[in-house]
């Protein structure tokens, strides 16, 4: 069995094609590896913020409450006691009258 020139040429072409395919295969494997590494990055092993983590658990929307806004019935308030308010008003009036009397004592007429 002898190898003819056309067969030798075909063998050379196939060898060249195999070399080219191997080089392309290496490049594609490197690309896949780089993309897998990029896909595996998250906020723990990169500078990504936690909000950009893939498949992170997200809180659901809050369900609306059946209660009205503001203070609920039965809640004890923190307002000032009415007796205390009356005392403060009386104290102010007394103080003002005291000051007016002192000023009036010093007037020359």
pLDDT in tens, 58-107: 777 888 888 888 878 887 777 767 777 788 888 888 888 888 888 887 77
Q: Is 43 helix (H, G, I), strand (E, B) or coil?
A: coil
Angle 17-22-24 (CA atoms, 0-180°, nearest 5)?
95
Q: In angstroms, how far is CA 9 from the centroid of its own chain? A: 65
Structure tokens belonging to residue 29: 């494997």
- What is the distance between the alpha carbons of residues 24 and 28, in angstroms, rounded to a whole number? 6
- What is the distance between the alpha carbons of residues 22 and 17, in angstroms, rounded to a whole number? 9
pLDDT band for position 109 (cuts 50, 70, 90): low
pTM of the model: 0.43
């Amino acid at each position: 069995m002898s190898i003819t020139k056309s067969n030798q040429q075909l063998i050379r072409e196939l060898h060249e094609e195999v070399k080219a395919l191997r080089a392309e295969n290496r490049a594609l494997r490197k690309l896949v590896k780089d993309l897998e590494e990029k896909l595996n990055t998250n906020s723990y092993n990169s500078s990504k913020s936690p909000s950009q983590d893939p498949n992170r658990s997200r809180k659901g929307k809050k369900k609306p409450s059946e209660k009205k806004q503001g203070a609920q019935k039965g809640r004890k308030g923190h307002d000032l006691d009415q007796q205390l308010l009356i005392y403060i008003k009386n104290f102010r009036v007394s103080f003002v009258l005291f000051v007016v009397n002192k000023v009036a004592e010093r007037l020359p007429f």
